[in-house]
Structure 1
Amino acid sequence: MDIPRIFNITESAHRIHNPFTPEKFATLGAALRMTPGTRILDLASGSGEMLCTWARDYGITGTGVDMSQLFNQQAQQRAQELKVADRVTFIHGDAAGYVADEKCGVAACVGATWIGGGVAGTLELLNQSLVPGGILLIGEPYWRKEPETEAVAQHCFASSVSDFLTLPGLVASFGELGYDVVEMVLADREGWDSYEAAKWLTMRRWLEANPGDELAVEIRETLNTAPVRHVTWVREYLGWGVFALMAR
C-alpha cells in the first residue's frame, strides 16, 4: 500500500505537504484553544508535522494515518526529533474509512478530502471518530479567482472549474452541511511558493541521481513546465485553507 511513486519523489523533502507554513500551523493550533491531553486524529497525515509540533507546543496526543510509507517513516522520525514519540502514533494505512478506537476532541483531514469522496463524505467519516462537541478540521482548495476557462482550471490541478468553489461558496457550503465555521486559517501566496518551489529542487537533484529511472522523462517534463505554471496560474487562481467546524 502506497501513494503513487511520483509524489513520494517530488515531495520527499517536504515536512508539510500542502501550502501551509510552520507559522500557519502554529497560528491554527493556538486558535483552536486546545488543552493539554486533547486527542487528535489526523487522516492523511503526511510527514506528521501538524501532530508533532502541536504535541510539542500544546501537549496534545494524537494518531496519524497515511498511505505513504516514506511519509509515515518521516513522521515517526519527526516525533523522535521533537521528543513527542510517546504522545503521537503514526499508522501506515489507508485513511479512507479509518475510524479511531477512541473518540477524539479534534478530527482532521487537512488537504485530502478525496478519502471520503469530497468534503461531505470526509466530514461524515471524521464524525465517526469525534466526541460530541468536538472540532473537525478540513483543509481544502478554493478559487481565489474563478477561472475563465476549463483550460485555466486544468492548469491549477483541477479537472474542471466545478472541482472547487470560491471562498464564499466553500464557507457557505459548510453551513449547508450543518456545520458552524468556528475558525479558519488561510494559506498565502508565499506558502504556495514554498510548497511548489521546494519540489523543483527535489526533482532536479533526483534527476541528476536517477537519469535512467522509468519516471525520469515524466519528472523532467514536469520540471520543465512547473515553475511557469505556478506563477502564471496556480499562484493567481488557487487558494487553500484549513477550516474548523462544529456540528450545529
Structure 2
Amino acid sequence: MSDLRIFSVRESRHRIHNPLTEGQLAGLGVALELPAGARVLDLACGSGELLSTWARDHRITGLGVDLNPDFVCDARARAAELGVGDLVRFVEADASGYVVDEPVDVAACVGATWIGGGVPGTIDLLRRSLAPGGLLLVGEPYWRTVPTTPEALAACGVRSADDYLTLPDLLASFGALGYDVVEMVCATEESWDRYMTPQWLTMRRWADAHPDDELHDEVRRLLATEPQQYAAGARTHFGWGVFALIAR
C-alpha cells in the first residue's frame, strides 16, 4: 500500500501517468481512426485520461481497471467533468489477470507491463479480452542509448542492460510474437520532462505540509536524489512509446 501512496503523492497533479503529452495522446486517438461505439479496455488505466478524452473526442465506450483507489477516484471525476460518465466506467481492481466477459475492440496496457510479467505476458493477457481483428495498445520503455557502466545502469534503476530492448529490437519482438506494428507514438525529452519534473514540486509541497507522515522521509529522500538520477538515467538513456498492434 505504501507503494500506491507514493504514486498517489508524487503524481497527484498528473492526468497522464506516463511521459506522453495531452497532444500526443489525442493524436494517437485520431491516428487509430476509432469509430463511435468502439469498446476499449484499459488495464492499469491510472487516472483514466485515455478513456475519458477518447470518449469525449470519438464517442468510444470503455472500461478502466486500476489498483490505486486515488487514481480510480480521479478517473471517475474526470469522466464526470468531461460529460462521458455514461460512456466509460472505472473499477478498482488488480489488472493482473483481468479479462472481460465481452470481447473489446481495443485492449490497452499503457506503461504497466508488469501486470503480465513483461511485454509477452501482457500481450497474451490483453489478447484474451480482444475481439478477432482487434487492436492492442502497449506502452513500454526502450533503450535510446544503452547504458554501459554500473553507474549508468544504477541511474536507470536496472541491474542489466538486458532488462530492456532498443526500439528496433522491441519492434522486432512484436513481430516475433505474431503482431504487426501499425502505429506508434514515442516520448521526447520534453514529454519526459513534463512527466517527471512536476512531480518534484508536488513532492516538496506535500513534504512541507506533512512532516509527520510515515512517507515523509521517503519523499524527502526522493527529492534529494531523483533529479540527478533522472538526468543521468531516464533522460539520457530511456525512450518510451505506445505501440498499436494487430495480430497477423
Asked whether the two chains share a fold, i.e. TM above 0.5, the reply is: yes
8 A Cα contact 1:3 1:68, kept in partner: no
1:3 shift after superposition? 5.2
Report the TM-score when normalising by structure 1.
0.97
- 8 Å Cα contact 1:38-1:60 kept in structure 2: yes
1:150–1:134 distance in 2 versus 1, CA, 3 Å: farther
- The answer to whether 1:111 aligns with 2:134 is no
Amino acid at match of 2:53: T
Counterpart-to-counterpart distance in 1, 2:2 and 2:65: 12
In the alignment, which residue of structure 1 is the partner of 2:97?
A: 97
User: How far is the alpha carbon of 1:233 from its aligned partner?
Assistant: 2.3
Q: Per the alignment, in what secondary structure is the counterpart of residue 155 of structure 1?
A: helix
TM-score by length of 2: 0.97
| Contact 1:97/1:125 (8 A) holds in 2 | yes
What fraction of aligned residue pairs are identical, expressed as a percent?
Answer: 58
Match of 1:73 in 2: 73
> Which residue number in structure 1 is paired with residue 125 of structure 2?
125
Please tell me the residue identity of whatever aligns with 1:193.
Answer: D
Alpha-carbon deviations, 1:79-137, whole Å to 9, x = none? 00000000000000000010112111000000000000110011111011101000000
Tell me how far 1:231 sits from its aligned partner: 2.1
Q: CA deviation at 1:2?
A: 8.4
Q: Which runs of 4+ in 1 moved over 6 A?
A: none
| Structure 2 residue 230 is matched with structure 1 residue 230 | yes
- Which residues in structure 2 correspond to 1:155-170 (within 5 Å)? 155-170=155-170
In 1: Cα distance, 2:16 partner to 2:48 partner: 8
2:148 is the counterpart of 1:153 = no
Distance 1:3 1:135 in 2: 31
Which stretch of the first structure deviates more once superposed, 209-218 or 32-41?
A: 209-218
SS at match of 1:4: helix
SS at match of 1:96: coil
Partners of 1:49 and 1:78 within 8 A in 2: yes
How many angstroms apart in 2 are the aligned matches of 1:236 and 1:83? 40
The aligned counterpart of 1:38 is 38
**Is the Cα–Cα contact under 8 Å of residues 155 and 232 in structure 2 kept in the other structure?**
no
Quick one: which amino acid aligns to residue 126 of structure 2?
L
Tell me what 2:7 maps to.
Answer: 7
SS at match of 1:108: strand
CA contact (8 A) 2:115 2:122 kept: yes
How many residues align? The count is 248
In the alignment, structure 1 residue 179 sits paired with structure 2 residue 183: no
Query: Which amino acid is the alignment partner of residue 64 of structure 1?
Result: G
Would you say the 8 A contact 1:149–1:161 is kept in 2?
Answer: no
Shift of 1:224: 1.1
Question: Contact 1:113/1:122 (CA < 8 Å) preserved in 2?
Answer: yes
2:117 maps to a residue whose letter is G
8 A Cα contact 1:145 1:236, kept in partner: yes
SS in 2 for 1:181: strand
User: One-letter code of the match for 1:231?
Assistant: A
The CA deviation at 1:163 is 1.0
Residue 242 of structure 2 corresponds to which residue in structure 1?
242
Q: What per-residue deviation string (whole Å, max 9, x for no partner) do you get for residues 169-192 of structure 1?
A: 100110111110011010111110
CA distance in structure 2 between the partners assigned to 1:103 and 1:12 by the alignment: 32
- Per the TM alignment, residue 213 of structure 1 is displaced from its structure 2 partner at its CA by 1.4
Partners of 1:41 and 1:62 within 8 A in 2: yes
Whether the 8 Å contact between 2:152 and 2:232 is mirrored in structure 1 is no
**SS of residue paired to 2:195:** helix
